Chains A and B, each alone.
Chain A
Amino acid sequence: MVTFKIERFNPDVDKAPYFQTYEVAAGKEMSVLEALFYVVENLDGSLAFRYSCRGAVCGSCAMRINGKNRLACQTLLKKLKSPVITVSPLPHLPIVKDLIVDMDHFFKNYEKIKPYLVNNTSAPEKERRQSILERAKIDEMIACILCGACFSACTVAATDKKFIGPAALTKAYRFWADSRDNLGDERLALVAGEHGALRCHTLFNCAEACPKNIVPTYSIQQLKGGLVKCRFSKPAK
């Protein structure tokens, strides 16, 4: 038996979040997500959480487990090495219910950076050529699953509600650095200003939280460098 302390909150009835304790009959290879299903099926049908792929690619089940933002599906109980497992929703995001948080703000930020390839030249009949090296530049960033673990772990995003946040900035870099994209300085303008890339304090909380081992700070630093170069290479608009 493993003890689970799970944060519960239903804004329709509860005044404040509280913890509830469940005893889960845990198998050796059980993940936190499976343990949550055990609770729903056997102990408490009212527990709510998001799930989909259970293979760490869809980004649904990011939550705070033993004090760290992780994917519930990817976190095996045996790796936590802890007799009591504490599970709460991603911090700094509004709770919808129990372990489900409102991701609207996260996706609004994502939408701000024009998260799509822009190339104003007419499309060739076949593919746009891209060298292996050019493609390698964005290899790390395209692994992002938009789970929100980094955004929730970022203390700057927690205090500065206008900060675009690490995931959107990583996405911004992914397109800016893509040799096929020609939005160029206009992309930088989207992440400029006090609440863009320059707001990052390089705390690396995002990198520590990322379940896909991405280092958003790297992308953000690249954007900062780009912004400075852009500041001196071109007259202000």
Chain B
Amino acid sequence: MGLHHQVIVVGAGLSGLRAALAAQQDGLDVAILSRVHPVRSHSIAAQGGINASLANAEGGRDDNWEKHAFDTIKGSDYLADQDAVEIMTKEAPGIVYEMEHWGTPFSRTIDGRIAQRPFGGAAFPRTCYAADITGHALLHTMYEKSVKEEIKVYEEYLLLSIVKHDNACVGIVALNINNGEIIAMSADAVIIASGGYGRIYGNSTNALINTGSGMAAAYLSAGVPLKDLEFVQFHPTSLYGTNILITEGARGEGGYLFNNRHERFMKNYAAKAMELAPRDIVARSIQTEINEGRCYNNAYVLLDLRHLGRKKIMERLPGIRDICLHFAGLDPINKPIPIQPGQHYSMGGIDTNANGETSLAGLFAAGEAACVSVHGGNRLGGNSLLDTIVFGKLSGHFASGYVKAKKKNAADQALQAELAKVKAKVSRLENSAGKENPAKVRSELKTTMMEEAGVFRTKAKLEAGLAKIKELKERYKQIHLLSKIKKYNLDLVRNLELEGKLALAEVIVLGALKREESRGSHFRTDYPTRNDEHWLKHTLAHHTESGPRLDYKAVTITRFRPQARTY
């Protein structure tokens, strides 16, 4: 019998840590397995803030959870499940206060309350922030809490497979990156909180570790369906060149977008909300300006903060200034920032309900890896940090409830069998005699996704994309590793991740091809309107040997009937 924990959480970002804290609080033996040290997780990169209807801001005294829920649902283009949104928005203030009590250094109002700033798609200043490093502030606090509670973390392990036995999840198989050993760990419940897949795309704001390995493992090895994966958020403002995120808070604090004619072009797209329309709309507007040539270098428009003045920039957006100084060599106090849309977030993910449960007993998911769905077709800025903590916590508690109620089943054999299978697969990869350069496969995948499944999609593009991905999947079988070293073999790690990336890419493109409407972030120029009659439903993708099989599931609607979405 090898390693065993009652609950294994995969991923040590905000949702993973929160889930582990919840399960440990319930008295269970919990361990986290993470690709990187917890504070290196991608939650750290969140900048703008976390939404909660605290009603602290001057202009937001009438705010409440229902208004937050409405904004979220309207922002989602009515694809969000409204019961889940209600849970999230009701939990929000409590979650923010809890993080504050645990030590998060939120920025403050004059009277010492948590400061809130306006964000896209919200009727009130609802986004609680710590300057422009809110994710950093929250993740450090969550990590500090996990140090206090002595949460066990297996650092630098890559999840390779989820093990099933008797229709229940019984453990995982993972690669210890440090020594190249592949191990099986048994668990009564597994929570996938491994984040998104941003690095499938070329221009992504995501960390380089965001390869969707958890989603892919759930889909490929656990056989759990992926939901709404065609909904890919493009952040309107990523820094031209590196695509590092420039927070929506920059516009929340009053930044303007200009095209090369020095027009605030958002007036042509969202006359009322202007720069603070939801992300899908602003991203499309910018992309339109770029496509129609009202841009610079055929690639970017300008985000101008100069009128905010030195004091406000230094106080509210110091991190943005640092990023501009280091990565673009300009100071936003004197110069506008060159920006373009970049892949940012996955609304879709492992299909779960509001308890974090997947269709496989004992397998849970939370955060960006999961799709509850609270973000539907388009996530509002400030809702992802909220999602990670709320559903991290809930999935942790529900997982411990499940563990306490379940009968023990001996799964050692299943684990050993899966371990042998994975080991054989890895050794096949290591010893492949193929000639294909994996770096080329990876970079062609990125270009394909940007070009064929980007901000604007058409049938022709998506079909071309799908064909290309199928080709890349074939070529992947022939890749040749440059190194067979055991210890810290980056070549191996990145190419194991590549398999999952290809699988996810196929699901994204196929879902997008089949969804013949435009909703939220999914925009089909050949079907430019929303079609509630046929498409007010979630896409579910099941893994089969011949590729994804799609079916659909109804959207839960409680109190907000779908209406036209204007800003």
Residues of A within 8 A of B (CB): 10, 12, 29, 40-42, 44-60, 74, 76, 96-98, 100, 103, 110-111, 114-117, 119, 123, 125-132, 134-135, 138-139, 142-143, 145-146, 175, 178, 180-181, 212-213
Partner-binding segment picked from B63-71, B281-289, B418-426, B483-491: B483-491
Q: Does B296 sit at the interface, judged by CB under 8 A?
A: no
Partner-binding segment picked from B77-85, B106-114, B215-223, B259-267: B106-114
Q: B112 contacts A45, CB within 8 Å?
A: no
Q: Which residues of B contact A135 (CB under 8 A)?
A: 105-108
Q: Which residues of A contact B137 (CB under 8 A)?
A: 142
Q: A178 contacts B110, CB within 8 Å?
A: no
Interface residue total, chain B, C-beta cutoff 8 A: 61
Residues of B within 8 A of A (CB): 36-37, 39-42, 44-45, 54, 96-97, 100-103, 105-114, 130-131, 133, 136-137, 140-141, 144-145, 147-148, 178, 207-209, 241-242, 244-245, 318-319, 322-323, 326-327, 439, 481-483, 485-491
For residue A103, which residue of chain B has the nearest CB? B37
Assuming the contacts A54-B242, A56-B322, A180-B103, asked whether A45 and B481 have C-beta atoms less than 8 A apart, the reply is yes
Q: A40 contacts B491, CB within 8 Å?
A: yes
Can you name 15 extra interface pairs (CB under 8 A) apart from A53-B45, A127-B54? A48-B487, A53-B40, A54-B207, A58-B44, A59-B40, A60-B40, A97-B488, A98-B488, A127-B97, A127-B101, A127-B114, A128-B100, A128-B101, A129-B112, A142-B140
Minimum CB–CB distance for B20 against chain A, Å: 15
Give the distance in Å from the alpha carbon of A161 to the alpha carbon of B319 in the complex. Answer: 33
Minimum CB–CB distance for B69 against chain A, Å: 20
Of A58, A97, A126, A128, the residue contacting B45 (CB under 8 A) is A58
Q: B40 contacts A117, CB within 8 Å?
A: no
Assuming the contacts A10-B487, A129-B111, asked whether A57 and B144 have C-beta atoms less than 8 A apart, the reply is no
Q: Which residues of A contact B103 (CB under 8 A)?
A: 116-117, 175, 178, 180-181
Main SS at interface, chain A = loop
Q: B144 contacts A116, CB within 8 Å?
A: yes
Of A98, A116, A145, the residue contacting B145 (CB under 8 A) is A116
Of B54, B105, B244, the residue contacting A178 (CB under 8 A) is B105
Q: A57 contacts B487, CB within 8 Å?
A: no
Most chain B CB inside 10 Å of its own CB: which residue of A49, A115, A134, A142: A142
Give the distance in Å from the alpha carbon of A118 to the alpha carbon of B45 in the complex. Answer: 26
Q: Which residues of A contact B41 (CB under 8 A)?
A: 52, 58
Assuming the contacts A40-B490, A59-B39, A145-B39, asked whether A53 and B207 have C-beta atoms less than 8 A apart, the reply is yes
